[in-house]
Structure 1
């Protein structure tokens, strides 16, 4: 890899997590939002980003915790650039450990709490080797508990129907390649559409439609890594065309899919 070029390196595939290490010398990515937690660690330099109406500066020693569906960007704070590791954690994985509680929220997007740093450490290993599945499962559980403790209890929430939301989520996964209607999800969940939709947002951090779109984009990225063209990947994953997919990809990840592929190839 070149010391003067931006690059990105993905960890070996995991059934539960996506992990990545990257370097950006200047502007990293445009404002975007995704439906996962982004939990990261700056390894060198200063990582600057806008988050919840403020500008944050991440230095080595802290933990970045971006909540699902919160808009953010990223760029270097100095001419030397910044290097960081990040993992993307689906809220559904946290719910398996938290049992249907509202999602933990870190308002500033950066925590200096040593408990959160320690809990995320096993998942911040180098990208060159896969994490043992049992170690990964234990680490996700510990991270969920640490997030809940550091974030504290969130008040004012009505009781959530976790099982109904899970039934709707399972149905979405069974229908990624076709149009899904609100009526279908209402039947699958067994609950009134407004109640399960409210609970879905509270439990998984995003709307049902965006959840469906992001799962299709996951499929697109997997296909692009295997060498499929943008057009082929778009159609296979259920998008109307390449333009439609590119629009959603850029909104979700802050960079167009073609640049994303080039970053991976530079490492």
Structure 2
């Protein structure tokens, strides 16, 4: 049976999931994501490499790191995930970033900390407790991560960052590929090929992913699902629900209902 339960505290989104047949489409999150495989084998493509997280595996996702996801077999998987904003990490680490070089580690202490924080959020414990647990977790993660921020120098990185900025500035519209191509003096096919080569995903997939992510945040803030449909350029609620489910396992309406 497929089950996706989301709970949100002030700073953290927690997911408790069980699935067997469901498959996530390729997507990313603007937040950092860390999780623990509780049962079964979770498999996914990450940055062009195949990953398998067995029971007890701690999964570490950098922000904007594209991946899919599924169960290894029909026996299914149980797992938890936590999502937290880059600003919180920077604040906790004195301006530094986290950068995970190893996508899966087997560290019982780290897994216990993730489970403790997930349990606190899922059970609706006080935000003060969740904040303390989050700080402790970020400090633990920093000891296993490369704290050096990736350099943004180089034409390729500047091209990708500028293209992303332009797309993020027009999430309420359709993707204006012609304007992007004109900005960079590229043909349509040059732009698509270059973006996919350096970002790991097509421009359309990136744009749609961002629309869904920002629609989710809008729903969290306003509890108004139809405003999210209008503000982020979806044709109707069915259109939003279809894409939302491919990324989060449940529809946007179900997500809003869980948070209310």
In the alignment, structure 1 residue 255 sits paired with structure 2 residue 247: yes
Q: 1:128 to 1:117 in 2, by over 3 A?
A: closer
Q: Name which of 40, 44, 59 aligns with 1:49.
A: 44
- Which whole-Å CA distance do the structure 2 matches of 1:117 and 1:258 have between them? 25
Query: Which residue of structure 2 lines up, in the alignment, with residue 195 of structure 1?
Result: none
Q: How does 1:117-128 map to 2 (within 5 A)?
A: 117-125=111-119, 128=122
- Which whole-Å CA distance do the structure 2 matches of 1:107 and 1:19 have between them? 23
Query: Which residue of structure 1 lines up, in the alignment, with residue 192 of structure 2?
Result: none
TM-score, length-normalised on structure 1? 0.64
Q: Name which of 136, 143, 148 aligns with 2:137.
A: 143
Q: 1:246 to 1:78 in 2, by over 3 A?
A: same
May I ask how many residue pairs the two structures share in their alignment?
208
- Which whole-Å CA distance do the structure 2 matches of 1:118 and 1:256 have between them? 24
In the alignment, structure 1 residue 109 sits paired with structure 2 residue 116: no
Deviation at 1:157, TM superposition (A): 5.1
Q: How does 1:149-168 map to 2 (within 5 A)?
A: 149-154=143-148
Q: How does 1:49-88 map to 2 (within 5 A)?
A: 49-88=44-83
Determine helix, strand or coil for the equivalent of 1:125: helix
- Which whole-Å CA distance do the structure 1 matches of 2:143 and 2:46 have between them? 22
Q: 1:249 to 1:19 in 2, by over 3 A?
A: farther
Q: 1:14 to 1:99 in 2, by over 3 A?
A: same
Contact 1:115 1:146 in 2 (8 A): no
- Which whole-Å CA distance do the structure 2 matches of 1:127 and 1:99 have between them? 25
Could you list the runs of 5+ residues in structure 1 that have no partner in the other structure?
Answer: 159-174, 180-206
In the alignment, structure 1 residue 9 sits paired with structure 2 residue 8: no
Q: 1:254 to 1:70 in 2, by over 3 A?
A: farther
Could you list the runs of 5+ residues in structure 2 that have no partner in the other structure?
Answer: 153-168, 174-205
- Which whole-Å CA distance do the structure 1 matches of 2:71 and 2:101 have between them? 22
Query: Which residue of structure 2 lines up, in the alignment, with residue 240 of structure 1?
Result: 233
CA RMSD of aligned residues (A): 3.8
Q: 1:105 to 1:156 in 2, by over 3 A?
A: closer
Determine helix, strand or coil for the equivalent of 1:38: strand
Determine helix, strand or coil for the equivalent of 1:27: coil
- Which whole-Å CA distance do the structure 1 matches of 2:249 and 2:58 have between them? 27
Q: 1:71 to 1:218 in 2, by over 3 A?
A: same
**Greater RCO, 1 or 2 (C-alpha within 8 Å, sep 6+):** 1
